[in-house]
Amino acid sequence: MLTIAQISDLHITNGRNPLDQKRNEDRLRVALKDINNLKPPPAALVITGDLVDLGLADEYEALKAILADTAIPTFFGVGNHDSRPAFREAFPDTPTDENGFVQYAAMIGDLRLVMIDTLDGENHGGFCEKRAAWLARTLDEMPDTPTVLALHHPPVPSGIVWMDEPEGAPWLDRLASVIEGRKNIEAMICGHMHRAYNGKFAGQVVSVSSATSIQLALDVRPIDMRVPDGRELLTERAPGYTLLVWHNKRLALHSCPAGNFKPAVTYQVPFIKDQRSA
Ligand SMILES: [Fe+2]
Ligand SMILES: [Fe+2]
């Protein structure tokens, strides 16, 4: 059995925004504490972008300091709140493709992780021809190896329309054309939406992780972007993470709220009596 923890949307920030700084750091620490207490320890920690809030060098330094207590090998991706140059400066060990996009492949046990870069300089995602060519080539290298794709922007809408990608965005078609029909893709794991949900894209399973920072409120009513109606947009519900469990060549994706929860039942009486002592 192999397990991999995914966290997303850490939005670590700095002293210029003390309220968000404390809240986002505290919430990240709650999630990391849960992950660090998992038994067995995950083989890897995958972080699907929005590592920091403003893409600033001192925010990446703050993130490094928080992650210093976590010994799990960590794989980083970037989101729309990140700055590629500042990230690469702070985390020079993270590979990039030949064009400087934060895209790479790595084996975690017998599972292959392929990190995709959808940062496009604005809130919405992007995936240009260069990135698509790299992905096609990379997937072609190991067409039979079970593979998890990690990317920041989910390619499947949530129904919470103010956060969703515009319908028919060209980058979605470009991504679909690369991954459609590939039978070795076990799942696409994403972030950005600050809310856990699942869907399907180009025939593939999509799993969107909770944020460790604040969560997206569940409100699927139509919204008029010019007329504020007082609805809750974001909420301080518990931070969360996703645990990928790879067992007997099958992948399960667990969406996990993080925090201090009391056990409801513990294992005290054997499920099966030992016949020898009967
Ligand atoms: Fe985010
Ligand atoms: Fe994002």
The tens place of each residue's pLDDT in the chain, 278 residues long, gives: 999 999 999 999 987 788 789 999 999 999 999 999 999 999 999 999 999 999 999 999 999 999 999 999 999 999 999 999 999 999 999 999 999 999 999 999 999 999 999 999 888 999 999 999 999 999 999 999 999 999 999 999 999 999 999 888 999 999 999 999 999 999 999 999 999 999 999 999 999 999 999 999 999 999 999 999 999 999 999 999 999 999 999 999 999 999 999 999 999 999 888 766 55
Indicate whether 270 belongs to any domain. no
The domain that holds 39 is classified in CATH as 3.60.21.10
Range of the domain at 242: 2-261
Residue 108 CA to ligand 1 centre (angstroms): 25
Indicate whether 268 belongs to any domain. no
Indicate whether 18 belongs to any domain. yes
Whole-number Å distance between alpha carbons of 151 and 49: 8
Residue 116 CA to ligand 1 centre (angstroms): 16
Predicted confidence at residue 97, as pLDDT, reads 98
Predicted confidence at residue 260, as pLDDT, reads 93
Predicted confidence at residue 226, as pLDDT, reads 94
Indicate whether 273 belongs to any domain. no
Predicted confidence at residue 161, as pLDDT, reads 93
Predicted confidence at residue 20, as pLDDT, reads 86
Indicate whether 276 belongs to any domain. no
Contact, 144 vs 112, CB < 8 A? no
Predicted confidence at residue 277, as pLDDT, reads 57
The half-sphere exposure of 13 on its side-chain side, counting CA atoms within 13 A, is 16
Q: Is the Cα torsion angle 199, 255, 233, 78 positive or negative in sign?
A: negative
* Total tally of structural domains belonging to the chain: 1
The Cα-based distances of 51 to 27, 48, 170, 263, 267 in angstroms read 13, 8, 25, 31, 38
With a threshold of 0.75, does the pTM exceed it?
yes
Indicate whether 7 belongs to any domain. yes
Structural tokens at position 181: 């029909």
Contact, 207 vs 188, CB < 8 A? yes
Residue 183 CA to ligand 2 centre (angstroms): 28
Residue 210 CA to ligand 2 centre (angstroms): 12
Predicted confidence at residue 15, as pLDDT, reads 74
Residue 45 CA to ligand 2 centre (angstroms): 18
The Cα-based distances of 273 to 130, 261, 266, 268 in angstroms read 60, 30, 17, 12
Residue 10 CA to ligand 2 centre (angstroms): 10
**DSSP reduced 3-state for 213:** coil
Indicate whether 278 belongs to any domain. no
Residue 134 CA to ligand 2 centre (angstroms): 22
Alpha carbon of residue 227 to chain centroid: 32
Predicted confidence at residue 276, as pLDDT, reads 67
Residue 161 CA to ligand 1 centre (angstroms): 15
Q: What is the DSSP string of 141-210?
A: HSTTS-EEEE-SS-SS--S-TTTSPPTT-HHHHHHHHHHTT-TTEEEEEE-SSSS-EEEEETTEEEEEPP
What are the φ and ψ backbone dihedral angles of 199, each rounded to 5 degrees?
Answer: -165, -165
The Cα-based distances of 219 to 59, 78, 129, 161, 278 in angstroms read 31, 27, 35, 9, 57
Nearest ligand, CA 165: 2
Tokens 């950005």 sit on residue? 192
Indicate whether 266 belongs to any domain. no
Nearest ligand, CA 151: 2
Predicted confidence at residue 265, as pLDDT, reads 96
Predicted confidence at residue 121, as pLDDT, reads 82
The alpha helices in 48-147, defined as continuous H runs, are 57-67, 84-90, 129-141
